[in-house]
Each structure stands twice: as structure tokens, then as C-alpha cells.
Amino acid sequence: MSAHTKQALSGTGAVLGTITAGGLKLDDFKHEIPEYLVAELPGTLKLPDFAISGSVEGLRDSTGGGIDGQGKFQFAKTDIEKTLLDVKKGFQPGDRVLAFRLNGGQDVVVLCKVVNGHA
């Protein structure tokens, strides 16, 4: 039974890896994987009330004169529907990632970038 369980679970589960220029290199697999899957996270973005300070340039007043200067932009709580967090666009060669092997190791899905918790 132990041998059957080991065989059934081999090639599945979570593993750390590194994004390369040509694909994905898993820590426990010696070959680079040129084609892999990446998680996308569709949903609704929920933003709380918040303010951002910054500069304002290029605005015009009612007489056509330019308005420049510092400003504070206040945003009300809102939900933005049909948003998508495209994780893949954030990866660069050398990034460490968390991946899951599925279908007996035939498919690999990268979920997120992994960083040092003490940095």
C-alpha cells in the first residue's frame, strides 16, 4: 500500500522553483520546463476610503490658465468589478516562485512569487 501511495503522489504537490529566461526550473526537477501555467485571479477589487498626496500639473482653470501645485486626492470606499490580477506580468528571470504540479506532474501551475520574510 505504501508503494501505491508513493506512486500516486509522485509528481504532485507544491514545490519551489525559479523563473528562467526560457521557462521554469523546479528545485526538485533537473530539466527546465518551457511551458507552464500561471494563476490569474479574477474578482472584485475592494478599496477602502483612502487619500494620496501628490503634484498636479497640466490642469486648466475656467479662463484657460494653467494650474500646478501640490494636492491631496481623497477616494471613497468602492468595489471595482471584473478586475484581474495578472500574476505572470510580475515575474522576472531569477524570481523564486511557488508552483504546484498536477496531473501526475504533467502540468505545473505557478501561483506566486516567494520572497525572504526577513528582508
The pTM (predicted TM-score) of the whole model is: 0.70
Tell me, what's the pLDDT at 1?
Answer: 55
How far is the C-alpha of 99 from the C-alpha of 111, rounded, in Å?
6
Contact, 75 vs 108, CB < 8 A? no
Tell me, what's the pLDDT at 115?
Answer: 94
Tell me, what's the pLDDT at 4?
Answer: 44
How far is the C-alpha of 103 from the C-alpha of 58, rounded, in Å?
55
pLDDT in tens, the chain (119 residues): 555 445 445 567 899 999 999 999 999 999 999 999 999 999 999 999 999 999 988 888 899 888 888 989 999 999 999 999 988 888 999 999 999 999 988 999 999 999 999 86
Q: What is the DSSP string of 29-68?
A: -SSEESS-EE-EEEEEEEE-SEEEEEEEEEEE-TTS-EEE
User: If you ran DSSP here, which 8-state letter would residue 103 be given?
Assistant: G
How far is the C-alpha of 7 from the C-alpha of 84, rounded, in Å?
37
Tell me, what's the pLDDT at 104?
Answer: 86
| Dihedral sign of CA atoms 52, 57, 58, 59 in order | positive
Tell me, what's the pLDDT at 7?
Answer: 46
Tell me, what's the pLDDT at 11?
Answer: 62
